[in-house]
Structure formats: structure tokens, C-alpha cells
Amino acid sequence: MTITHPSTDILILGSGASGAAVAWRLSKSDFKVVCLEQGRWIKPEEYPNEHADWEIQARTNWAYDPNVRSLDVDYPINVDESPIDPLMFNAVGGSTIHWTAHTPRFHPSDFRVKTLDGVADDWPITYEDVEPYYDAYDELMGCSGINGDPANPPRKERPMPPLPIGPDGERMARAFDRLGWHWWPSDSYVNSIPYRGRQACNNCGNTGFGCSRGAKGQTDVAIWPEAIANGVELRTDSRVFRIETDADGRTTGASYYDADGEENFQPAKGVVLAMNGIGSPRIMLNSASDAYPDGLCNSSGLLGKNLMFHPYAMVSGLFDDGLKTYKGALANIILCQEFYETDPNKDFVRGYSYQVARSSGPVSTACGYMFGRVPWGADHHSEFGRRFGDVTVLGVIGEDLPEEHNRVELDPELTDSNGIPAPRVYYKLSSNSRKQLDDAIENAETALHEAGAVEVLATQLLKVAGWHLMGTARMGDDPKSSVVNRWGQAHDADNIFVVDGSVFVTSAAVNPTPTIGALALRTAAYIDRERADLKS
């Protein structure tokens, strides 16, 4: 027997970076809002950094990869045809529980790559369209950083000063200075000072596995409390399997399983999908109906296609000056955008950023997350001693261009713990991305040697690196070549919206979440302004 709930105005699916933003924005007007989230609230004392075995938890029940974590709340992902594993977290706060909160913005050029470089597509919107929402999301989540970056347009003062860059950051910055290359202190949604009732970061270093101090911009602590206080209902342990539609293809709400495995139906006047760049196309594909034989709002045939990841190369420098650089937020140090734009002298288009990251604890060092596994046997201790606390990493984030053959589909056999079909991912590294990464590796080696590294090790393509999930329900003005319009509203149904990374047209060469959050706020503002018809 299906349990049917009283109708709501707006039903948000997913409580991560984008879902929370929409909930918060709509909670400030008089929409009735319900959010369905498959995960649960995580208590501060549950985070690995509250436990002595934090490094073990990071590799097991708190692993980045849902296929490794394998919790009931996770859904499996078939990655047999992908050299990159998609990463995510499923709980209130979504992947912002796990993220390292490095928060650069797109450049104005990122919205115009077709016009400027003749590749992919232009976005239907500009940097200027998004800018006020970037500012608003920065304020909501709490951005630490400083004005004056010559690689980016001037912008509003960040709410907090930058995080300390540490001796390792300074060592790298000086090297960039000597090479005449750009660098700037990272923008981070990590509190450098107490902010809106949340504590300042105390540099524990384990940013990527949840912050028990509330110092990191996770939406469970930065956004949800206010949205709930304003009247939004956040319903946890609620796993959506289908978005329901009427004969005209407009949504009537969503069906989900509750914690007891019972089927529920939540009627709504409008539905906002925020389950991330894999989760949203998965559930849309699973919502095929007479109106939508190929998946919800898929008249373009592009749903699930154009998956972009940011293929990630890691170039690690080993230093011998004993700085012990495991102190400080893991990957929120400095950013180098010297090679951000297309260089006509190179054999690839678009460019890349370097995100500087630091060392971690003893288990990670030995098992080699940053610098290869330490050899066993007679040389073990001397090698461990050389590496422990003495590695600085240049992570390469290259612009991944959209290609239709890179895609998310439903797996014909694999399911989650409720029996909902799991996603299967096809992804091939393009030759443009490979050339970008090769160039980036070469330049990173130069920079690390300049900084004094005694040895440099490059990981050509990191497998456990699908942290950015984009492009699978792209936006555009033309319904034939896009799934949603410039407001994130489906071309095929005016009461269905997508607000996560699925809507990205291109990926830029920066971490995506400030852009995801800004676009989500923009869609919410549009609903508030233009869609009184969705209000009861």
C-alpha cells in the first residue's frame, strides 16, 4: 500500500550543495517546501576526525568511493567502462560532507568556449548573470579568501580573510613567483574565523571526511538549520525511485521508499532535482513513462549524455626540509591559473588549474595516497621517514569538454538496496584531455623542482577522482540540444527543474560547487519571482 502525503508546493530531491540552496532560498518566501533525502543526519561525533582510527575510516566506511563504502544508503555504480570512479556522499549535506571545499569560480570565458575557441558550446548565460548568485552562495556557505587576484575579475569582498597558506604553501608560492607564474590564496568554504555561529578551522587536516567542528561549509550545518527554521520539511531516509507525471508530461510529485522499505508518494506542484550529476539522470531515466518513453524530459535524447568529470592528474613533490606539512586544511592552500586559457602554441584547447594540496597522516603516507606506496622490507623505514609530512601535491584540474559518448545509463542488472536500477557509467578520456594533462604534468614538475623538491612523482590519471559530476542534463536555449533551459527548467515540462551539476554545458578548469550553488540559487530566485502558479 502506497502511503500518500499531503501535497506540497515545491518538492526538492536531494539535500546536498544544490538542494539545500534551493530550499533555503524558497524558505524565505511563502512556498511550502519538502525535501526528500535518501541519507540521514550525521552527528559531529561520528566524523572520523573525532576518532583515533580516522585514517582507517577514510579507507573503509568513510571512503570517498560509494562502491568501497558500500553502505545501504549508497547506491552502487557500474564503473567497468570508466577509468575514473565517481565519488559522492549520501546524507543530509550530500557530497559537501566529503568535499574539501576549495571554491574558485568560473572565469567569464568559461561561459563562451564555442565563441572563443570553437569547441563545445556556449552557455545560454554569462558570468555576469551568475555573479550575484556566486556572492550570495559565498555568503551562505562562508567563503575565506582575499581580493586582488589578477587571474579573475574583481569581486565583492569575501566574508572571511584567507586561511593561512602554511610554510608549504609559501614554499610553492615563492616558486611560482620566481617562475613568473600566477598563484593566489585559495578561496575556500572553510572558516578562517568564527562565522555565523560556526567555529573557525583549527587546521586538523582531515577536511575531506567531514568536519566535526562545523568549520567547513557543509550544507547540513551552513544552510539546513535556517531553511528548516523557516519551515522547510527535510525528510530523511527517503529514497526517490520515480518522478511521477501526468498525461501532459508535467510532474505530479515523486515516489520513494522510506526507511522501512514502504512505498510513499509525495505530491507536489513542482519538482526540483538535486541528486547530483549521476543521481539525477539516474532517477530521470528510471522515470520513463508513456509521456517520456526514453526517460523523463528526454525529448532531446541528451539525458545522461555529455558526462564530464575533470580528469585529474596528481604531481607530487618530495621535499627534504622537514616542514611536516600535514597541518592545515588538506587542499585549500593556493591555486595557480597560469595555464587556464587556450594557448595557440599548444596542441590542445582550453587549459587547467593547479590546486595545491598537502601531506596527510602516517597510514596515508605508507599506503601511498600522495607519493606511491612506501616499499616494504629493508628500506621501508628510511623511505617512510623521507616521505612522511614532506610531500606537496599539485593537483591538475583540466577542462573536460563534453562528449556525447561519455554518459550515465541504467544498469540492466545492478541495483541499490531497494532494488532501484543502479547507474552505469561510460567514460573515455579524450585526446584533448590527455594532452592537457601531459602538459600540466610537465609544468608541474618544473614548478615543484623550482620549489626545491628532491623527487617528483606524477600520477598520469587518478582513478579515484570523479568528485566533479557534470553535464548529464545540460542547459541551453534550444530544446533539441539541451535538457533544461537557462533557468534549469526542463524544456519538456514547465514544473520540473534540475539544479545540480547535470546542467553544466562545459566544465571549466575549476572545482564546480560554487557554480552549482550559484545556479541553484538563481533557479530558486526564478521560481520565486516567476512561478507563483506553483504556490498553493
Ligand X SMILES: Cc1cc2nc3c(=O)[nH]c(=O)nc-3n(C[C@H](O)[C@H](O)[C@H](O)COP(=O)(O)OP(=O)(O)OC[C@H]3O[C@@H](n4cnc5c(N)ncnc54)[C@H](O)[C@@H]3O)c2cc1C
The rounded distance, in Å, linking the Cα atoms of 318 and 454 is 6
Nearer to ligand X, 166 or 210 (CB): 210
Number of residues that bind ligand SF4 (CB under 6 A): 14
Q: Which does 468 bind (CB under 5 to 8 A by kind): other proteins, ligand X, ligand SF4, none?
A: ligand X
* Position 109 contacts ligand SF4 (CB under 6 A): no
Tell me the window of 14-22, 196-204, 350-358, 511-519 that interacts with ligand SF4 (CB under 6 A).
196-204
Specify whether the CB–CB gap between 87 and 96 falls below 8 A.
no
DSSP 349: S
Within 46-75, the residues that bind ligand X by CB under 6 A are 64
The site partner of 103 among ligand X, ligand SF4, other proteins, none (C-beta below 5 to 8 Å per kind) is: ligand X
For the beta carbon of residue 375, count every other beta carbon within 10 angstroms.
12
The helix/strand count (H/E) of the chain reads as 13, 17
- The enclosing H or E element of 154 equals none
99 lies in the site for ligand X, by CB under 6 A: yes
51 binds, among ligand SF4, ligand X, other proteins, none (CB under 5 to 8 A by kind): other proteins
The dihedral over CA atoms of 158, 161, 167, 168, expressed in degrees to the nearest 10, equals: -20
Nearest to 408 by CA among 82, 179, 174: 82
Backbone φ and ψ for 256, nearest 5 degrees, come out as: -150, 165
Cell of 180: 613568473
Candidate residues 317, 511, 524, 531; the one interacting with ligand X per rule CB under 6 A:
511
Distance from C-alpha of 288 to C-alpha of 297, rounded to nearest angstrom: 9
- Nearest distance in Å: CB 206, ligand SF4: 5
* Three-class SS state of 381: helix
Residue 500 grid cell: 545540480
Q: How far is the CB of 393 from other proteins (least distance, A)?
A: 18
**Chosen from other proteins, ligand X, ligand SF4, none, partner binding at 190 (C-beta under 5 to 8 Å by type):** ligand SF4
Is residue 215 a contact point for ligand SF4 (CB under 6 A)? yes
Q: In the chain, what are the helix, strand and coil shares in percent, each to the nearest 5?
A: 30, 20, 50
Contacts of 373 (CB under 8 A, 6+ apart): 366, 367
User: Nearest approach, Cβ of 337 to other proteins (angstroms)?
Assistant: 8
* Smallest distance, other proteins to C-beta of residue 472, A: 26
User: Residue 54's binding partner, choosing from other proteins, ligand X, ligand SF4, none, with beta-carbon cut-off 5 to 8 A by kind?
Assistant: other proteins
Site track 149-188 with ligand X (rule: CB under 6 A), x = hit? ----------------------------------------
Work out which of 142, 145, 208, 281 binds ligand X, going by CB under 6 A.
208
Which residues form the interface with ligand SF4 (CB under 6 A)?
A: 49, 190, 201-207, 211, 213, 215-216, 329
